Chain A
Amino acid sequence: DVVLTQSPATLSVTPGERISLSCRASESVDTYLHWYQQKPNESPRLLIKYASQSISGIPSRFSGSGSGTDFTLSINGVELEDLSIYYCQQGNSLPYTFGAGTKLELK
């Protein structure tokens, strides 16, 4: 199974700063890497698909990059509403797997 390692587990942020979240795969997943946001007591929401493709309705401050085994989700100017848990997920091979998540909290 492809193991996705997300870092850091928790990130303390200040509104307005630019941040980067990491997702590293145990083997290449090409660009079949997707990012989700889950706010407390809500369902996950797709943020970025295929490593870097934007999703309609998602603010432009969210962007993704990477291919193969190393991926990054960036938020350019964190807002309070972005305090959530972020998960990466690979769709390159079965079983589909998720990372353990990175929790954004207020500094």
Chain B
Amino acid sequence: EVQLVESGGGLVQPGRSLKLSCAASGFTFSNYYMAWVRQAPKKGLEWVATISTSGSRTYYPDSVKGRFTISRDNAKSSLYLQMNSLKSEDTATYYCARQGYYGCPFDYWGQGVMVTVSS
């Protein structure tokens, strides 16, 4: 059974940093692209980042480019999201999701972790 378990969320002040983690199990992690998708309270879904199988290629929307960094450790079957210079508009539930390849759907999702950016 595919499982994705996020951790690392919490309350953080504007301008500070936070690192999210996602522990994967039930599939060969190194064979899949992985992604982060977020959802602001009572809002829709927004793609945040995608990383290739080896980690050599990363993709971001303009809203987080230069502030967020996605990374992975295939030996640990873990995905990460380093978030710097956080803004109030980054407040959201962050989901870890499996994405087979570039353009593929997000076929499995974690339960999500809440990040609140507020002073």
User: Chain A: residues with CB nearer than 8 A to chain B?
Assistant: 32, 34, 36, 38, 43-46, 49-50, 55, 87, 89, 91-92, 94-101
The contact of B107 among A43, A46, A94, by CB within 8 Å, is A46
Do the beta carbons of A92 and B61 come within 8 Å of each other? no
Chain B contacts to A: CB under 8 angstroms: 37, 44-47, 50, 59-62, 95, 102-112
Determine which of A43, A46, A49, A96 lies in contact with B95 in the assembled complex, contact meaning CB atoms within 8 Å. Answer: A43
In the complex, what's the smallest C-beta–C-beta distance from B87 to chain A, in angstroms? 18
Q: Are B103 and A98 in contact, with the CB atoms below 8 A?
A: no
- Point out the residue from A43, A46, A96, A101 that lies within 8 Å of B47, measured CB to CB: A96
A95 neighbours in B (Cβ, 8 Å): 47, 59-62
Contact of B111 among A43, A55, A91 (CB under 8 A): A43
- Taking the nearest CB of chain B, how far is it from the CB of A50, in angstroms? 8
Return A68 CB to nearest CB of chain B, in Å.
16
Which residues from B are CB-within-8-Å of A89? Answer: 45, 47, 105-106
Q: A101 and B109: CB pair below 8 A?
A: no
Are B107 and A49 interface neighbours, CB within 8 A? yes
Cβ B44 vs Cβ A49 within 8 A: no
- A contact residues around B107 at 8 Å (CB): 46, 49, 55
Nearest-CB distance from A65 to chain B (Å)? 16
Contact indicator A97/B105 (Cβ below 8 Å): no
The answer for the CA separation of A98 and B110 in the assembled complex, in Å, is: 18
Q: Take A43-B95, A43-B111, A43-B112 as given contacts and tell me if A97 and B47 are in contact as well, using a CB distance cutoff of 8 Å.
A: yes
Expressed in whole angstroms, the Cα–Cα distance for A96 and B35 within the complex equals 11
Chain B residues positioned under 8 Å from A96 (CB to CB): 47, 50, 61
